[in-house]
Amino acid sequence: MAARKKLLLLPGDGIGPEVMREVKRVIDWLDRKRGVTFEIEEDLVGGASLDARGTPLADTTLALAKAADAVLFGAVGGPAWDGMGFDRRPELAILSLRRELGLFANLRPAMVYDPLVGASPLKPEIVRGLDIMIVRESTGGIYFGSPRGIETLPDGQRRGVNTEVYTTHEIERVGRVAFDLARKRGRVVASVEKSNVMESGLLWRQTITALRDAEYSDVTLTHILADNCAMQLVRNPRQFDVIVTSNLFGDLLSDLAAMLTGSLGMLPSATLGAVQGDGKQHALYEPIHGSAPDIAGRGVANPLAQILSFAMLLRYSLGMEDVAVEIERAIVRVLSNGLRTADIMSTGAARVGTGVMGEAVLRELDKAPG
Ligand code: IPM
Ligand code: MG
> Could you read off the pLDDT of 243-267 as tens digits, one per residue?
999 999 999 999 999 999 988 889 9
Higher pLDDT, 84 or 291: 291
Ligand 1 pocket, residues with Cβ under 6 angstroms:
91, 94-95, 251
pLDDT of residue 352: 98
> Could you read off the pLDDT of 28-45 as tens digits, one per residue?
999 999 999 999 999 999
Q: Quote the CA–CA distance of 170 and 159 in Å, as a whole number.
A: 28
Residue nearest to ligand 1 atom 10, measured at CA: 251
Give φ, ψ of 237 to 5 degrees: -65, -25
Ligand 1 mean position to 251 CA, how many Å? Answer: 7
Residue nearest to ligand 1 atom 11, measured at CA: 251
Mean pLDDT of 112-141: 95
Judged against a pLDDT cut of 90, whether residue 159 lies above it is answered with: yes
Pinpoint the alpha helices (H) of 129-275: 168-183, 199-215, 226-235, 247-260
Q: Indicate which atom in ligand 1 lies nearest the CA of residue 269.
A: 9
Mean pLDDT of 71-99: 93
- Residue 198 and residue 245 in contact, taking contact as beta carbons nearer than 8 Å: no
Mean pLDDT of 62-89: 93
Q: CA–CA distance from 252 to each of 97, 245, 307 (Å)?
A: 20, 10, 24
pLDDT of residue 219: 98
Judged against a pLDDT cut of 80, whether residue 202 lies above it is answered with: yes
The confidence band for 87, taking pLDDT boundaries of 50, 70 and 90, is confident
pLDDT of residue 92: 95
Residue 158, by phi and psi: left (phi above 0), alpha (psi -120 to 50) or beta? Answer: beta
pLDDT of residue 1: 52
Mean pLDDT of 103-130: 94
Higher pLDDT, 54 or 369: 54
Q: Which of 82, 95, 97, 98 to mutate to test the pocket of ligand 1 (most atoms within 8 A of CB)?
A: 95
> Which ligand is in closest contact with the Cα of 269?
1
Judged against a pLDDT cut of 70, whether residue 370 lies above it is answered with: no
Give the chain's mean pLDDT.
Answer: 96
The confidence band for 294, taking pLDDT boundaries of 50, 70 and 90, is very high
pLDDT of residue 44: 98
Q: Indicate which atom in ligand 1 lies nearest the CA of residue 138.
A: 12
Q: CA–CA distance from 361 to each of 25, 79, 211, 330 (Å)?
A: 10, 32, 42, 6
> Could you read off the pLDDT of 267-286 as tens digits, one per residue?
999 999 999 988 899 999 99
Question: Percentage of residues in the chain with pLDDT exceeding 70?
Answer: 99
> Which ligand is in closest contact with the Cα of 138?
1
Judged against a pLDDT cut of 80, whether residue 364 lies above it is answered with: yes
DSSP string, 204-226: HHHHHHHHHHHH-TTSEEEEEEH
> Could you read off the pLDDT of 215-235 as tens digits, one per residue?
999 999 999 999 999 999 999
Q: Which of 89, 94, 286 to mutate to test the pocket of ligand 1 (most atoms within 8 A of CB)?
A: 94
DSSP 131: E
* Residues acting as catalytic residues: 143, 194, 227, 251, 255
> Could you read off the pLDDT of 297-340 as tens digits, one per residue?
999 999 999 999 999 999 999 999 999 999 999 999 999 999 99
For CA atoms 56, 291, 17, 112, the dihedral sign is negative
Angle between helices 59-67 and 92-100 (to 10 degrees): 50
Q: Which of 251, 254, 309 to mutate to test the pocket of ligand 1 (most atoms within 8 A of CB)?
A: 251
Q: Quote the CA–CA distance of 194 and 114 in Å, as a whole number.
A: 34
Ligand 2 mean position to 29 CA, how many Å? Answer: 32
Angle between helices 304-316 and 16-34 (to 10 degrees): 50
Angle between helices 168-183 and 199-215 (to 10 degrees): 50
> Which ligand is in closest contact with the Cα of 108?
1
